[in-house]
Structure 1
Amino acid sequence: MRVLHVISAPGQGGAGHQLRLLVRGLPHDCEVVTLARAGMVTAAIRDGGTTVHELGTGRGAATIVGLRRLIRRGRFDVVHTHLYRACVQGRFAARLAGVRHIVATAYHLSEQLIEGRPASAGARALYLAGERAGQATIAVTPAVAGRLRAWGVPEARITVIPKALDPDEFRYDPVLRAVARARLGIEPGVPVIGGVGRLAHGGGFDHLIRAVGEVPGATLLLVGDGPARVALERLAGIEGVADRVRFAGAVGHVREMLCAMDVFASPPGSATAGLVVLEALAAGLPTIYATCPPLEELAAARSAVDGAHRLSARDPQSLPRALRTEVLCHQERHGSRLPPRSAGDRYCAKAMAAAVDRVYDRVTGR
């Protein structure tokens, strides 16, 4: 079966990495078309042997016409769209090209924002119009599924398939650790507390900057970029820890940065859906988190993961206290790494691909 994946911007919100893992695991002839300029994630998809088409940054009717032409030429059996713009334009184009089997994946939807942009009534109406052209919509979290239902997407069309990872991609490498620390100007023996995510206002990284001031001798490594970076750099200066905070910027893959860390923290307010916490566990890091649905499910089932500590929502001192404790434990282990841990097979890339393939089976009647 031939499947065309249409994605708006491969680097947005980790969707590109999810698509890379998906096409690698699907037992079909997959191709990808991106509606944005090529980036590191697109190159990784292409390096994996998948054909990648670049339609550029055009919008509106021209994009739909170009997609329709590509879909007809490729004679695809299924069109699978990813992210808002691709879900609108891609589903219309697939329908115009005569494709009967259309699937979409919704990653980030809220009442206020659609993937970082204001969620106007017109934007929601356009999304729903495109949704009626398809047959199934995959939500990456129960919250996204709830928003789809609130918008009017029929329950029967919605399937929740969580984001996933390949644990082997995050295994610890001391060589990568040394290279990353040398580039960042961090001495080998300095304990490093790390955070990963978009640096947005209200994203929680201000808590980490304030907390690191209460962890003597530790350096804070923030990986990611966004509109709040300048404000966070200014806050580090105000708190007197500017010399102990490193801003690594956006990276194509976080493995090297995770290798450079000794403790991982996902502070209150960070919007990661928990996947980055699972990546840190796979890298052998002790993790401190405010919200991580996969780990919360395990804790509720009394199957807590070793080395994962949930912060108290009512105690503002729980973050610096937990950081001090984990740094001390790291020193007592003489810097040795914890073994890789996971939240179970449900969040493995192979399970995600198998679940998506079952959706294809359902919509095609295979």
Structure 2
Amino acid sequence: MKALHIITGLGVGGAEQQLRLMLRHLPARCDVVTLTNPGAVADGLRADGVRVTHLGMHGNRDLAALPRLVRLIRHGSYDLVHTHLYRACVYGRIAARLAGVRACVATEHSLGRAEIEGRPLSRGTRALYLSTERLGSATVAVSGTVSARLRDWGVPSARIHVVPNGIDAALFRHDSASRRTTRTTLGIPEDAFVVGGVGRLVPGKRFDVLVRAVAALPGARLLLAGEGPEREPLRALAARLEAADRIHLLGERDCTPGAAAPGIPALLGAMDLFVSTSREEAFGLAVVEALAAGLPVLYRTCPAIEDLPADHAPHARRLTGGAAELTAALRARREAGTRRLPPPPAVSHYDIARSAARLMDVYARALAPSTERARP
């Protein structure tokens, strides 16, 4: 099988990094087209031996990109096209249909109740999504929660397949020596209580709540990995709270071993507690990675945990309030001690090899003759 993956951009982000990890485990020949921004993940894919093409799209209404994409698909003689993220799903489904590809699968990575990919949902956005969804063969939801949202939108249940995001748990296995090295690199004392967060620095992640909570706990440190428009407001907030020396805004980091700066696995190893303050999530991959690193977790919303039985993540606790509640929870966790925990069952449930096998099943169904696809 030869497949083409089309994605909106390849900067460091959850969907982008998930694509790279998934391609390492798919038993298929795969190429990638990025409509915009051939960033760090594009470099990583090329290092993995994947052919990456930058389409050079100039914006959401750059209609000239469509015939270029159609020609590229035809030239590649692909059996299947797989699209990722909103713009790529819209343009990719249309291009795949025009190019005469046998099957087109789309993964919905970032659909919230009121947002998609961090942007407010509008009636027009939803209408365009649904009209192009019908051009594809199947839509993949990264969680049961996203599957339910797609059904609420009007996507037929028979077209929706749940393939959870996955992780390579071995990358996050705790290592005491790496913990000491990372803390030394970042200038953090070995006995400091370190809280962590990972994600794009955008309002929906509510990292301001996390900054306020850590600032209110004397001596606590915050490691925040991510980049985005909220970086300077968060830095200014930390300064106003007189905690700038304890709030570490680390910029973009990924999971690539051997990088010059500590990546996500090393940073998780240096933490004592992981916190996700997001208003909405489609999955919550960073939470699962933190659990794989043996960390207790506090979260506001996380379908990856909420879709499972409670005993699959016993050390993940849901928060419902604001900074005051979070500060109290941080204080209680510090007082309880900072021992490392064994990875819970949720980690093995979201193994990337398992997710890759489920995705190959979706591919096989999409490529099957229509009479076979119609069978229950």
Is there any run of 5+ residues in structure 1 with no aligned partner, and where?
A: none
| 8 A contact 2:143–2:304 mirrored in 1 | no
Query: Out of 344, 361, 365, which is 1:362 matched to?
Result: 365
Query: Out of 126, 134, 137, which is 2:136 matched to?
Result: 134
Distance 1:69 1:152, change over 3 A: same
3-state secondary structure, aligned to 2:203: coil
Distance 1:291 1:126, change over 3 A: closer
Runs of 4+ more than 6 Å apart: none
The question of 1:209 aligning with 2:211 is answered yes
Partner of 2:304: 294
Partner of 2:171: 169
Query: Out of 341, 344, 347, which is 2:350 matched to?
Result: 347
Deviation string 1:215-250 (CA, Å, 9 cap, x unpaired) is 332211111122222222232233232221111122
Partner of 1:221: 223
Alpha-carbon deviation of 1:37?
2.9
Q: Equivalents in 1 of 2:153, 2:326: separation in Å? A: 36
The RMSD of aligned alpha carbons is 2.5
The question of 1:279 aligning with 2:289 is answered yes
Higher mean C-alpha deviation, range 321-330 or range 69-78: 321-330
Opposite residue 197 of structure 1, the aligned amino acid is G
The question of 1:266 aligning with 2:276 is answered yes
| 8 A contact 2:66–2:95 mirrored in 1 | yes
Q: How many residues align?
A: 359
Distance 1:72 1:227, change over 3 A: same
Partner of 2:258: none
3-state secondary structure, aligned to 1:363: helix
| 8 A contact 1:196–1:222 mirrored in 2 | yes
Partner of 1:30: 30
Opposite residue 35 of structure 2, the aligned amino acid is L
3-state secondary structure, aligned to 1:122: helix
Distance 1:143 1:49, change over 3 A: same
* Same amino acid, percent of matched pairs: 48
| 8 A contact 1:6–1:86 mirrored in 2 | yes
| 8 A contact 1:278–1:342 mirrored in 2 | no
Q: Equivalents in 2 of 1:89, 1:12: separation in Å? A: 22
Distance 1:202 1:2, change over 3 A: closer
Distance 1:269 1:129, change over 3 A: closer
Give the TM-score, by structure 1 length: 0.88
Is there any run of 5+ residues in structure 2 with no aligned partner, and where?
A: 256-263, 370-376
Deviation string 1:170-199 (CA, Å, 9 cap, x unpaired) is 223445444543443323332211111222
| 8 A contact 2:82–2:106 mirrored in 1 | yes
3-state secondary structure, aligned to 1:164: coil
3-state secondary structure, aligned to 1:251: coil
| 8 A contact 1:289–1:309 mirrored in 2 | yes
| 8 A contact 2:8–2:35 mirrored in 1 | yes
| 8 A contact 2:8–2:84 mirrored in 1 | yes
3-state secondary structure, aligned to 1:246: strand
Query: Out of 237, 241, 244, which is 2:243 matched to?
Result: 241
Alpha-carbon deviation of 1:105?
0.7
Give the TM-score, by structure 2 length: 0.86
Query: 1:289-328 maps to which residues of 2 (within 5 A)?
Result: 289-300=299-310, 303-306=311-314, 308-313=315-320, 317-328=324-335
Alpha-carbon deviation of 1:144?
2.7
| 8 A contact 2:274–2:295 mirrored in 1 | yes
Query: 1:102-181 maps to which residues of 2 (within 5 A)?
Result: 102-110=104-112, 112-174=114-176, 176-181=178-183
Opposite residue 3 of structure 1, the aligned amino acid is A
